[in-house]
Amino acid sequence: MSGAATIPERADCLVLFGATGDLAYKKLFPALHELESRGQLGIPVVGIAREGWTLETLCDRIRDSLKDAGLDPDDDAGRALIASMRYVHGEYTDPKTFDDLAAVLSDVSLPVFYLAIPPGLFGDVVDSLAHHDLTSNCRVVVEKPLGRDLESAIALNHTLATELREDQIFRIDHFLGYEQVQNLLVARFGNTMLEPLWNRRYVSHVHIEMTESFGVEGRGAFYETVGCLRDVVQNHLLQLVCILAMDPPVSMDADSINDEKMKVLRSIRPLEPDQIVRGQYEGYREEPGVAPDSDVDTYCALRFEIDSWRWAGVPFTIRAGKGLARTLTEAVVEYVAPPRQLFPDADGTFEPNRMRFRMKPDDLIELSMQVKQPGDRVVMETVDLSVHYSTRLGLPGPAAYERLLGDAIAGERRLFARDDLVEEQWRVIAPLLEDPPPVEPYWRGSMGPAGAARLLPPDLDDMLSSPHVPATA
């Protein structure tokens, strides 16, 4: 049929570079088990790693991985996954490794190469795959960090583009695979009543929160190389800004969605140092692997605007960090107050309408609105109309890595970042990396440094944790 969408070809093999690493152990093998249990895998899985392991030791590690994830390695899905495993041992810079891989893939027409390895090795691996004629019909999944700054992100994109087409490259951001993030897209573009109110005339503020009560948990050496701004703001939270602020795409295909996200990012001027407060929790410098004079941020508060017709003048704020009072990931849209207070004699405190999209610890959508308490006097009270996603709609959907692995195998690119999008995200925060203000200390269990108050809304606690009476659907 003319104009019909082309259905991507399904991959017939998955190749895991870094099969003995932590990411494969904690995330990828459990995700593959769940894909198998849903009937969405059914292809060989080839593990590649430099350690001197055997197929038997790799399969034992998979069994341990599944047990630690609360899964049964001896159920039908576990046995099928382990039976599908192949193993290639060797250095990523050794041509023989890729000779052996090519032999294993001799009957494969469309492999997915998952590079769960340091980004510094991406170029070597892709070059070797191309040299062995393995890239003409393949997909390559790359994990973050997708660069450390704008210059390195451009260089990484150039490295990948040397041997691969853009449609072959799947840049993974597991945050986009969360069911709740997908639900935000549906809430925005599947409900007519929201769209007329989703602009500067009716919205007074948009806030994004991603706080964690735990610290770096023994990963200080790693965290020293990233910090909060690089770890979650540049990727996860700017993506969430895009989803909240983008115009409706012409369709739900990958390029249409990324085109609208690009418009949002291009409307954000590069952030200046006075638009961020960087923090570091007391005790971080005592963590193993952390420099005694470290200036790495474990906390960021930002305030900026999107200079578009839809959002001009509306402040967007972000708070993210570790070692804080609570673990919460949430986006809040606060609406403007009514133009007049029609109840001058009313008792109670008036609060604006707010719409919350909570991802942790609850998966809910919540709308706060004013009602009158029963009785002779006009006493206003705020109630929350809430829908808990998993409670109302049944079992949770696939986990993030399960969804993204399944999409890569199926050739669905909607949840993967495009090259220009990654570079634009780095452009937005580039001045903050080049000339960062010093970190401000804060106590563990607090909500961050006191200096962040100049950027964040004064009613932030009311925006995020409402004591109001829920009216749950």
Active site residues: 236
Residues 20/90, Cβ–Cβ less than 8 Å: no
CA separation for the pair 469, 412 (Å, rounded): 41
Q: Work out whether the CA dihedral 121, 127, 130, 131 comes out positive or negative.
A: negative
DSSP letter, residue 230 = I
CB 384 within 8 A of CB 466: yes
DSSP E strand stretches across 325-408? 328-335, 354-360, 364-372, 380-388
CA-CA distance, 286 to 268, in Å (whole number)? 37
**228 CB contacts (<8 Å, ≥6 apart)?**
278, 297, 298, 299, 300, 320, 321, 322
Q: At what angle do helices 150-163 and 122-131 cross, to 10 degrees?
A: 10
Distances (CA, A) of 177 to 64, 180, 181, 198: 25, 9, 7, 24
**What is the rounded distance in angstroms from the CA atom of residue 433 to the CA atom of residue 418?**
22
Nearest one of 247, 263, 111, 253 to 189, comparing CA atoms: 247
Q: Are 320 and 448 in contact (CB under 8 A)?
A: no
Residue pair 204/314 in contact by the 8 Å Cβ criterion: yes
Amino acid, res. 371: V
Interaxial angle between packed helices 238-245 and 254-266, expressed in degrees from 0 to 180 and rounded to the nearest 10: 100
Sign of the C-alpha dihedral computed for residues 24, 25, 27 and 33 taken in this order: positive
